[in-house]
Amino acid sequence: MNVEVAKTRAFCVTRPAIAGDEDVIRQWRASAPALGASQTTVGAEEHRRWFETAREKQRCELYLIEIAGERSGMIRYDFAEPDAAEVSLFLMPPYIGKGYGQAAFRQTAPLIFARRGVRRMFARVRFGNERSLQFFRRLGFREVQRDADVYLLTLDRPTVPHSRPFVGQEEQDAVAAVVASRQLAQGPKVLQLEQRWCELTGMAAAVSVSSGLAALRLSLLALGIGPGDEVIVPGYSCVALLNAVLALGAKPVLADVRADDWTLCVEDVARRLTGRTKAIIAVHLFGAPADLPALAELGVPLIEDCAHGIGGSCGNRPFGGYGTLSMASFYATKMIAAGEGGIVAGNSEKMLERIRRSRDYGDQPPDGRHLNDKMTDLEAAIALAQLKQLPEVLARRAQRAERYGRELQDLAEHGLIVLPKMTPDRIWYRYVVRLLKHRAPDIVDRIAKRGVKAEQPVWDLRGTAYWTAGLEATAFAFDRVISLPLYPDLSELEQRLACEALRVTLSE
């Protein structure tokens, strides 16, 4: 983050206008006509009536901009239409052009969008006022018409998706280079990805495959798992874990998770061990480290699921470097997003060689377990480009998680939600909160009406034949946990809108 921008955000705050602001606002209104679209002045009585209306938030909402504790300007929203607001802004001359106006807009616009049901904002800028014109354009406003000497610019309420792949020019260049090479299928880029993955995880070898599901299935195959065997998986996890076990004719056994951590509960896993248990799959869910050291003490082969990303640590080892085998997914919505693809890593060359043979059916005797599970060089090139940006991606995600923590702290203090734990060893793939007084499906539906896509991040397994008793925390998660938008290019405006939409929804 630019240092100057960071300072701007730190020292610029907005607050609703109060009675003591009336005189200074009148002075500002008197000094501003030459810059405004209407170019009109107002008398004392007219200003008094307008100010009282603004304080009551009937047809207008008015906010003071304070910079380093001093009243330095104002931003107002006039509700000319039921679902639209006109925005205007005034700053004292010393503060113009330094980012304070943008900060004030980003602090207040989400309140207007979420609380007032506004779907569109517009601004009027007088012809020749190039500074104001550029100001609104930088905020995303687009020019729709010019009437006489006034530009009309509009901004639609953002629609904030739950997931958004973080890709740019590096990925485009990487794909173009592969296409130019004509080596589209598995080739040198796949090998480079495997080498890079070993550097990141500390494992001796890695094998790239076609998907995260393929990585799980081939890991189980390498462990010799088949019909009659049992594999313990988290009850609160992706259905792909169960599918990988079932594909080999084995039985998935659900174990409970820890509340507000949502990773495997070691004590419940221990209770579910039998003589047929041949593996445990432990997920660093949402980026929180599973308790792999304790799980390893149970004496069962451990598959470390890093589908939600790498860059964290567990037991003084990097993610992906602890299990008997570890795996990851490169699906389009994952932290490392290559569209599709997956990878398996480990220290047993024998196991990894079995996976290499199993990912490709070619030039081998018929075997129903040998399918087409190869990764392409196109996918590997995208994954490699993403891994080059991993430190930046992790930092951006952490910054947004910290902002959620600050913005939503009041909801936690009022007993409405439980925030995820901020620990130094975790990464931030998802930002999930536990609802204390509401049901997750209801909140997800209602927050969507305000333009924010939250999700219940795990498909509910309670209707399947594999659900069993004793999964209390898992059942609670299905009912009460929601995931808020979190990705590296989630803008401040989008994130504030997500926070305010949640706040308003929970208070209805």
Here the contacts of 28-31 (C-beta below 8 Å, separation 24 or greater) are 28/73, 28/74, 28/90, 28/92, 29/90
Cβ atoms 206, 227 nearer than 8 A: no
Residue tagged 């069993």 (tokens): 468
CA angle 38, 42, 45 (to 5 degrees): 150
Cβ atoms 37, 132 nearer than 8 A: no
Helix axes 212-222, 349-358, angle to 10 degrees: 120
- Alpha carbon distance 184, 376 (integer Å): 6
Cβ atoms 288, 262 nearer than 8 A: yes
Cβ atoms 334, 309 nearer than 8 A: yes
CA angle 495, 384, 169 (to 5 degrees): 60
* Residue from 189, 334, 421, 449 carrying the catalytic annotation: 334
Helix axes 212-222, 239-247, angle to 10 degrees: 40
* Helix or strand (DSSP H, E) at 407: helix 390-407
Cβ atoms 76, 87 nearer than 8 A: yes
> Beta strand pairing status for 277-283 and 230-234?
parallel
CA angle 378, 384, 387 (to 5 degrees): 145
Number of H helices, E strands in the chain: 18, 19
Our answer to whether residue 334 is catalytic in this structure is yes
User: Following DSSP, what letter does each residue of 216-277 receive, concatenated?
Assistant: HHHHHHHTT--TT-EEEEESSS-HHHHHHHHHTT-EEEEE-B-TTT-SB-HHHHHHH--TTE
Catalytic machinery residues: 334
